[in-house]
Every structure is written in C-alpha cells, then in structure tokens.
C-alpha cells in the first residue's frame, strides 16, 4: 500500500532540523527520524547501521527491528560502498544473504539507502524491512533516501560539534596550563593600546603589587607614577627604543611602587604585536615579573665576592689560584692585588699564561722552581719553595710560595696558595749563616770558617820554619748538567756525596770546606805538592768510581782539581787560593777530570 511520502518528508525535515537546533543527542534525533518515516507506514521497519573501519556493520538506531536480528547484522561484513545503493541490492551478495536471514525472523528486506558522507563515501546505510512481502514504491524509496540525507546531516552535525568540543577542551586545557605557569612564575600580563594609551593589566599583575582587580586604572600616565623616580627615564628610553625599531623587544628592569608604598624590583618585557592600516604600532603586550628576591640574592652574592676580594687584597703578599691544564697551559685563575708588589705586574698579565712570571724568576732558581712545582702536581703534595726574583723596580728579592694542589674532573690541577715577601728574613738568615761555621747542606766547614782555618795555617807557616801546607781547589765537572738532567734535589745529593768523600779523606789537622755552589777547597797541613797530588788523585778516583744512587739511577760525576802550596811570604790567604784557582782553571780548560799544579 502506497503513501504520500513527498508531503510527509517536509514534516520529517523540519522535525529533524528542530532536533539538531535543540542540540538533542544524535541517537535520539535519528530515532525520531525513523519513527517519523515508520509512523506513516505500519509495514515498514527502518534501521540505521554505521559501517565500521573493519567493514562490519554496527547498529546505530532502530525502533522496531528485533534485537537478535540486529546482532546478526552487526556481524556481517560489507565489501564496498557500491553495494549500499538501494536499487542494486538484488545484485549484491550482501543483500541476498541478508534477505535469507530476514526470513528466519519473519521479515522481508524492502530496500536500502546509503547515508552519504562528504562528496564520496558513506557513513553507513538505512535498511528498510517490510512485515509483509510487498513491492517498494518509488515514493517509499524516495522517503528512505531523503531520511538517509537527513541522517547524514545529523551525523555530520554531531561530528562537527564533537570536534569543536574537543578543540574547546584543548584550548581550555592550554589556558589553564598557561595560567598556572604564569601564576607560578610570579608574572603578570599587560596589554597596551598604543594609540589611546590605555593599559589593561591581568589580575595576577595587580595582585603582584597588592591591588585587587578593580583598583588600578588603565591610564598610561598613572602607570608612570608607580615607577621609581630614579628609574623612570630608563623605562621611557627602553620603550622609545622599541618604538623606534632599535630593539626587537622592550626589556627593562626597574623598581615599581606597591599599594603599601614599598618598592619591588620587576623585569618588564613587551613587544609591539599589531600595527594600524598606515603601519603605525597600535598594540603592545608584555609581561612583568617580580625579581625582588633574585635581585636581593644577587646583591648578597656581590657583597660576598667584594668581601672575599677585599680580604685577599688586605692580606700581605699575593693570594692566588693557579691552574695547570692537562695540555700544559698554565695561568693564574685568580690573583689578588698583592701581585703588583710581589711580581710588579698586573693580574691580567698572567690570566692566560704565566710567562710574565717565569721571566722574573732568578735564572739559578728557575730549575728548582719548575722541578718543585712539577713534583707538587705529580704527587698532589703541598708546594713550598723559597726562591729569588729579579724585579724591574725592587731588584733582587726573595719570595716564598705555599700552595695546595687539587685535581679537577677534567684532569687540570688547581692550586690555592699565597706568596710572601721573605727578603728581610733571608737577609738575616744569610747574615746568621755567615756567623755559622758549618755549611748546612754538606755539613762540612763553610767558606767563612774555611778561610779562617786557612788564615791560621798561613800564620803557622809564617811562624814555624820549614812548615808546609798545600791548598786544593776542587770543582765538580758539568754539575749544571746534573741539575738539569736529574733535578736540583739529585744535584744536592751529589754535593753531599762529594763532601763525605772529602771528610773521610782528610786528617784532623786538615780542613775541607765548601767555598761556593759546587766548589770545594782543602788545606792539607804539613803537605807539599807530591802529597797533595796523591790526595787529589785519591778523591778524584773515588768520586769518579762511586756513583750517587737516586732511585734506579746511578749518577757518576768527576772533579777537576787545582793545587798550589802556601808561601811564608803570601800576604793573605787569597794568594794561595788564587794560585790553586788558576791551576783549577787550567784543569777545566784542558778537558776536566784532571789535576793541575800551580807552577808558582
């Protein structure tokens, strides 16, 4: 039996659109649509299935289709959109199996209509059943097609709304995160209309200064009254620089008055974000961050640095930090003002390398200086040294260094230490040493005592007829090489070793002394040239054949010796000494490791 579907479809459209306008849930809208079509034909049962991504059908809306039959359709797989076109259903394998299944539920498949989606494709399809077997009229098919279009609109509308809701949720979420971040960073936001000079502040901005949301006006001029008078010029200059395109953004730190009259330090940043049609800036937005606490902390830090600097500058001498990099680069990472007195240079001169200092160290002390520093680095042992410097203004001066090394993660070594002026102490020490009789290093008579003993011997010769005495000057050969090759400490051991040889070789009536760095002298009482030569040969042989052991090293040295005898008519001790010295000079000249006798 036929029905006037064309009149009916108009009512259905309106009803469906009314549902959409009301924002009714999708399924409710679709069921109302289905009811509207069914109510005009009692034999018709409409059902709407969505096609899933896995090519299955899923029931979305029906009023009268038996649930068990719906579940069976839900399991069916559809192979393509073309099968959904109603008139072709006879040709479709899907519909022939659907028709067989419908019969088991006492129903007859009448027709179907795809639910269009965009230009091509479908959301799914309407399937129409009849309770009695009958022909589907064109008008009926038209009504089903029309319902399919309306369903498509309802589904698209629903999808669009869902997308908008999702975007709104994401935006709200972002806004919440942004608000939390701004709150947590003690930051307020401002927005300035450059042409009207109105500024709007966020509530957080106002709260930062202790104001409630309605307490601050939006006049630019009023904002200037809150800026500390001493900072106003720099704030305006920073703003102008940005307006004049001299800066990418407006950035300034200044003080601002709070509601209670106190001042806070703030960091204000902003940027022009809009221009009017003629290109003039029209809007600027920015942030204001409370940096009072950070400023206070940095001021405290600066005070501490000042305190440490003035303390180190007050300490007499040079307080310093010295760095030795794994690649050998060395420099003073810190040097107090004392460097001007200790080395007569500026800290900057040694901030990158220490050449300026190396040049000032006395050449004789430089090897000791470098050896001891190296040893401190290798053993990570405290560095202590007394050494001489030759300064442009002060001349020869004594310095003492004391420093502690520490190894850093990158392999560098860092010393913290100080260098003091010990010139006066050294002067007294040297003076006192003059009064002493024993040489500290070798523990044999020193030069002063040796000359005194020589004087006594000369007096004896001048007093006693036929009395004799021989004078030997001994100088170790190439001693500088020993120092250079094995270090100063090894050189000291060699000096001590030779002193022991001399002490063991001399009698009570003889005197052996250290008269210079590596120079030794001997007075042999009651001895002439022949006895002196035998003595000289003995000690020369001993030193040449008994090595000094330094660790695994055996250091061999030789000695050159000059011999002369004292004369009763010598005016002083210098006479015999200088004759022996000339003979020694000859021995050196003739190739070293030799004994030469003065012929005078």
Ligand X SMILES: Nc1nc2c(ncn2[C@@H]2O[C@H](COP(=O)(O)OP(=O)(O)OP(=O)(O)O)[C@@H](O)[C@H]2O)c(=O)[nH]1
Three-class secondary structure of residue 490 per DSSP = helix
C-beta neighbour count of 174 within 10 angstroms? 10
**How many residues of this chain interact with ligand X, rule: CB under 6 A?**
17
Residue of 208, 239, 350, 476 that binds ligand X (CB under 6 A): 476
Which one of 238-246, 256-264, 431-439, 470-478 is the stretch in contact with ligand X (CB under 6 A)? 470-478
Rg (CA), the chain: 55
Q: By CB under 6 A, what part of segment 439-468 binds ligand X?
A: 441
List, in sequence order, every residue forming a beta bridge with 272; answer none if it has no partner.
284
The answer to whether 375 contacts ligand X (rule: CB under 6 A) is no
Q: Closer to ligand X by CB, 259 or 480: give it.
A: 480
The answer to whether 496 contacts ligand X (rule: CB under 6 A) is no
Which one of 134-142, 238-246, 488-496, 543-551 is the stretch in contact with ligand X (CB under 6 A)? 488-496
Which one of 32-40, 182-190, 484-492, 540-548 is the stretch in contact with ligand X (CB under 6 A)? 484-492
Q: What is the DSSP letter of 3?
A: -
DSSP string, 267-333: EEEEEEEEE-TTS-EEEEEEEEEE-HHHHHHHHHHHHHHHHHHHHHHHSSSEEEEEEE-TTS-EEEE
DSSP H/E element including 536? helix 529-545
Query: In 3D, which of 197, 249, 242, 236 has the Cα closest to residue 218?
Result: 197
- In angstroms, give the least distance from the CB of 562 to ligand X: 12
The answer to whether 13 contacts ligand X (rule: CB under 6 A) is no
Q: Closer to ligand X by CB, 81 or 366: give it.
A: 366
Which one of 29-37, 131-139, 239-247, 485-493 is the stretch in contact with ligand X (CB under 6 A)? 485-493
- In angstroms, give the least distance from the CB of 558 to ligand X: 9
The answer to whether 495 contacts ligand X (rule: CB under 6 A) is yes
Q: Closer to ligand X by CB, 291 or 586: give it.
A: 586
Residue of 206, 478, 496, 533 that binds ligand X (CB under 6 A): 478
The answer to whether 562 contacts ligand X (rule: CB under 6 A) is no
Phi, psi dihedral angles at 421 (to 5 degrees): -90, 115
The answer to whether 590 contacts ligand X (rule: CB under 6 A) is no
Q: Closer to ligand X by CB, 147 or 474: give it.
A: 474
Residue of 290, 457, 477, 581 that binds ligand X (CB under 6 A): 477
Q: Closer to ligand X by CB, 319 or 482: give it.
A: 482
The binding track of 332-371 with respect to ligand X, each residue x by CB under 6 A or -, is --------------------------------x-------
The answer to whether 515 contacts ligand X (rule: CB under 6 A) is no
C-alpha–C-alpha distance, residues 251 and 187, integer Å: 14
Please, is 402 exposed, middle or buried when counting C-beta atoms within 10 Å of its C-beta (0-12, 13-18, 19+)? middle
- In angstroms, give the least distance from the CB of 566 to ligand X: 25
C-alpha–C-alpha distance, residues 468 and 462, integer Å: 10
Question: Pairing mode, if any, of strands 395-407 and 383-391?
Answer: antiparallel
What's the sign of the alpha-carbon dihedral 541, 545, 547, 553?
positive
Which one of 140-148, 228-236, 483-491, 566-574 is the stretch in contact with ligand X (CB under 6 A)? 483-491
Q: Closer to ligand X by CB, 16 or 372: give it.
A: 372
The answer to whether 519 contacts ligand X (rule: CB under 6 A) is no
Q: Closer to ligand X by CB, 107 or 473: give it.
A: 473
C-alpha–C-alpha distance, residues 257 and 278, integer Å: 37
Angle between helices 488-505 and 366-379 (to 10 degrees): 110
From first CA to last CA, the distance across the chain in angstroms is 162
C-alpha–C-alpha distance, residues 203 and 208, integer Å: 9
Q: Closer to ligand X by CB, 283 or 592: give it.
A: 592
Greatest extent of the chain over all pairs of C-alpha atoms, in Å: 173
Query: In 3D, which of 32, 40, 96, 102 has the Cα closest to residue 73?
Result: 102
Residue of 384, 406, 480, 485 that binds ligand X (CB under 6 A): 480
Three-class secondary structure of residue 487 per DSSP = coil
- In angstroms, give the least distance from the CB of 483 to ligand X: 5
Q: By CB under 6 A, what part of segment 214-233 binds ligand X?
A: none
Token pair for 27 = 């399924």
Query: HSE on the CB side for 580, CA within 13 Å?
Result: 30
The CA angle 190-179-234, to the nearest 5 degrees, is: 30
Residue of 257, 448, 488, 503 that binds ligand X (CB under 6 A): 488
Which one of 116-124, 489-497, 534-542, 578-586 is the stretch in contact with ligand X (CB under 6 A)? 489-497
The answer to whether 429 contacts ligand X (rule: CB under 6 A) is no
The answer to whether 499 contacts ligand X (rule: CB under 6 A) is no
Q: Closer to ligand X by CB, 107 or 548: give it.
A: 548
Q: Closer to ligand X by CB, 344 or 371: give it.
A: 371
The answer to whether 295 contacts ligand X (rule: CB under 6 A) is no
C-alpha–C-alpha distance, residues 581 and 327, integer Å: 47
- In angstroms, give the least distance from the CB of 360 to ligand X: 17
The answer to whether 405 contacts ligand X (rule: CB under 6 A) is no
Footprint on this chain of ligand X (rule: CB under 6 A) = 364, 441, 475-480, 483, 488, 491-492, 495, 517-518, 588, 592
């Amino acid at each position: 039996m036929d029905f006037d579907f064309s009149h009916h479809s108009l009512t259905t459209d309106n009803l469906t659109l009314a549902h959409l306008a009301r924002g009714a849930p999708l399924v409710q809208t679709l069921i109302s649509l289905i009811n509207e079509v069914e109510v005009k034909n009692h034999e018709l049962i409409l059902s709407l299935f969505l096609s899933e991504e896995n090519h299955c059908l899923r029931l979305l809306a029906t009023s009268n289709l038996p649930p068990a039959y719906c579940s069976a359709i839900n399991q069916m797989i559809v192979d393509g959109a073309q099968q959904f076109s109603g008139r072709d259903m006879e040709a479709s394998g899907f519909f022939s199996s659907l028709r067989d299944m419908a019969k088991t539920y006492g129903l007859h498949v009448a027709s179907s209509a795809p639910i269009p989606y965009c230009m091509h494709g479908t959301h799914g399809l309407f399937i129409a059943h009849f309770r009695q077997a009958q022909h589907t009229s064109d008008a009926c098919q038209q009504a089903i097609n029309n319902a399919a279009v309306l369903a498509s609109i309802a589904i698209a509308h629903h999808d669009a709304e869902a997308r908008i809701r999702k975007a709104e949720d994401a935006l709200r979420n972002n806004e919440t995160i942004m608000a939390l971040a701004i709150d947590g960073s003690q930051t307020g936001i401002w927005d300035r209309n450059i042409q009207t000079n109105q500024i709007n502040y966020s509530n957080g901005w106002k709260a930062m200064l202790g104001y409630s949301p309605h307490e601050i006006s939006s006049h630019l001029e009023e904002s200037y009254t809150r800026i500390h008078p001493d900072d106003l010029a720099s704030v305006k200059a920073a703003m102008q620089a940005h307006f004049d395109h001299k800066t990418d953004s407006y950035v300034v730190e200044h003080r601002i008055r709070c509601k209670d009259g106190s001042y806070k330090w703030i960091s204000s940043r902003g940027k022009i974000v809009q221009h009017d049609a003629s290109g003039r800036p029209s809007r600027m937005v920015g942030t204001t961050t409370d940096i009072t606490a950070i400023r206070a902390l940095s001021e405290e830090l600066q005070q501490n640095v000042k305190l440490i600097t003035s303390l180190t500058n007050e300490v007499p001498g040079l307080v310093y930090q010295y760095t030795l990099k794994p690649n050998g680069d060395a420099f003073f990472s810190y040097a107090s003002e004392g460097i001007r007195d200790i080395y007569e240079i500026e800290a900057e001169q040694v901030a990158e390398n220490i050449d300026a200092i190396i040049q000032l160290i006395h050449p004789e002390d430089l090897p000791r200086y470098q050896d001891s520093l190296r040893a401190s680095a290798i053993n990570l042992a405290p560095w202590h040294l007394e050494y001489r410097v030759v300064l442009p203004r002060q001349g020869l001066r004594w310095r003492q260094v004391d420093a502690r090394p520490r190894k850093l993660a990158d392999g560098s070594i860092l010393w913290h230490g100080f260098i003091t002026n010990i010139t006066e102490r050294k002067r007294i020490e040297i003076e006192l040493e003059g009064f002493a009789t024993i040489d500290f290093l070798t523990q044999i008579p020193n030069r002063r005592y040796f000359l005194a003993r020589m004087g006594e011997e000369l007096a004896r010769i001048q007093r006693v007829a036929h009395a004799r005495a021989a004078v030997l000057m001994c100088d170790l050969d190439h001693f500088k090489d020993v120092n250079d090759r094995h270090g100063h400490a090894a050189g000291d051991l060699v000096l001590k070793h030779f002193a022991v040889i001399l002490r063991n070789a001399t009698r009570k009536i003889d005197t052996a002394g250290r008269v210079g760095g590596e120079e030794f002298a001997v007075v042999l009482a009651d001895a002439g040239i022949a006895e002196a030569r035998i003595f000289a040969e003995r000690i020369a042989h001993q030193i040449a054949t008994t090595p000094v052991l330094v660790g695994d090293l055996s250091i061999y040295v030789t000695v050159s010796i000059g011999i002369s005898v004292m004369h009763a008519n010598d005016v002083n001790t210098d006479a015999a000494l200088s004759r022996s010295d000339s003979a020694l000079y000859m021995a050196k000249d003739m190739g070293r490791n030799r004994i030469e006798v003065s012929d005078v």
